[in-house]
Copies of this chain bind each other. A is one copy, B any other.
Amino acid sequence: MIEQSPLRIVSDAAAVPARVDHTGTLARLEGVTESRGLDDLTSRLAVLRNFVADDLAEVEAALGAVDASLDTPMHRAAMHLVDAGGKRLRPMCVALAARAGAGFDRNARDLAVAAELVHNATLLHDDVVDLGDLRRGVPTARVVYGNAASVYAGDWLLVEALRRIRVTGYVDLLDRALGVLQEMLDAEGLQLAFRGRGDATVDDWRRVVDGKTASLFRWALYAGGRAGGLDADRCDALERYGHALGVAFQLVDDVLDVSGDPGETGKALFTDLREGKLTYPLLLAMARDGGFAKLVAEAMRDEGGEVSAGTAQAVMAALHQTRSLEDSMAFARRLSEEAVASLATLPAGRAREALNSVAVAMLHRKK
C-alpha cells in the first residue's frame, strides 16, 4: 500500500491543481481502489457516494451561503478557505451518523456545517502559526490576505460555528464542542512545545493527535448520532468510532507527508518535518534507531526549518530500514478495525455499512 515515492519537493504553489468538488474524495478513492483490484471496496464506495451525495450537497450549499455580512479582507480570508473545498470528511461523518438514526435533518446539516467551520477555523490559525503557503492546492489565506486577516478570520469562523451549534438547540453538543475546542487548543499548545525538539515520543504524538485531530471527529460522529435521535449508548459507540477514525486519519496523513504525491495531497512533501512537527513514522524510526534519532535532532537544530536533500535521503532510508511506514499503516489498520468493531451496536443498514466503508477507505486515501 505504501509506495516510497522518489523525493520531490514542490516549490511552485501555482503548479498544483486547485479546488475539489465535494464528491471528489469519494470518486478518487473509488479510482484508487479500483486500480488495485479492490472491487468490493470500490462498489461499496460507489454506494456510499450515492447515499450521502444529497446530504453533502446540502452542506456545500450551506457553506457557500455562510454570510460573511461584510466585505473586508478578513471576511474574504474566511471564505477563501471554506470555498477552496477540501475533503469535507467531518460533515460526511455527521451525515452518516445522523443517517444511522432517524436521518439527516436541518439540525444535522447545521452540525455538519459547524464541524467543517471549526476545522477551517483551526486551519486558518495553523497556517498563520506554521507560515503555511499552500492548502487544498491553493495559496493559503494568509498568503492572499495576510496574517492579520487570517487570525481574525479564524476567530470569525469559530464563532460562526458555535452560533450554528447553538441554533440547533442541543445544549449538550455545544458543551461538548467547547470541551473539544479546548482539547484541540491544548494539543496545539503541546505541539508547539514539542516543535523542533528531537526528544518527543510516540506517546507525545498520541496526546497531540487525540486532541488536535481525533477530538473533532469524535464530536462529529456523536453530534450526528444525537441529531439522528440515537440513544446514549449508540452515540457513545459512534464517538468511539470517531476517535479511532481520527487517529487513523492522522496516521495516514503522517505517512503521506513523506510518501504522498504532492499533486494529490495539495502540499509539499516533508511539510511536517520542515515545520518541526514529528510524525508517527519518524518517531517510530527514531525509537528504533538511536543514530537516526540523533540525526533528526541535529537536523532540526541546524537546518532552521529547511529539509536538506541529505536529510530527506537519510529520513527515507531510516523509514525503510526500520519498516516504520509499514508499521504506521499497520497501526492505522488496527484503528480502522477498532472503528468498525465499535459500530456493532448500531442498527444494521446502509448507514452502518457506509461508516464501515469510510473506515476501510481511510486507509487507502491519497490526499
Contacts and interface: CB of A to CB of B under 8 A. Distances in A.
Interface in A7-29: none
A340 interface: no
A293 B193 CA distance: 47
Contacts of A182: 156, 159-160, 163
A193 B155 contact: no
Interface in A160-174: 160, 162-163, 166, 171, 174
A128 interface: yes
Given A72-B190, A74-B192, A162-B162, A152 B178 contact: no
A210 to B, nearest CB: 13
Interface string A70-88: 1011110000000000000
A195 to B, nearest CB: 8
How many copies of the shown chain assemble into the complex? Answer: 2
A189 B154 CA distance: 12
A185 B72 contact: no
Contact of A193 (B69, B73, B162, B189): B73
Interface string A217-242: 00000000000000000000000000
Interface string A227-264: 00000000000000000000000000000000000000
A186 B74 CA distance: 8
A125 B151 contact: yes
Nearest to A207: B70
Interface in A54-76: 69-70, 72-75
A175 interface: yes
Interface in A131-157: 147-149, 151-156
Contacts of A153: 189
Contact of A192 (B72, B128, B181): B72
Contacts of A151: 125, 128-129, 151, 154
A105 interface: no
A353 interface: no
Contacts of A178: 159, 162-163, 166
Contacts of A147: 128-129
A74 B159 contact: no
Interface of A: 69-70, 72-75, 125, 128-129, 147-149, 151-156, 158-160, 162-163, 166, 171, 174-175, 178-179, 181-182, 185-186, 188-190, 192-193
A-B pairs with the 4 shortest C-beta distances? A74-B189, A72-B189, A72-B193, A129-B148
8 contacts: A69-B186, A72-B193, A73-B192, A128-B148, A152-B185, A155-B185, A156-B186, A163-B179
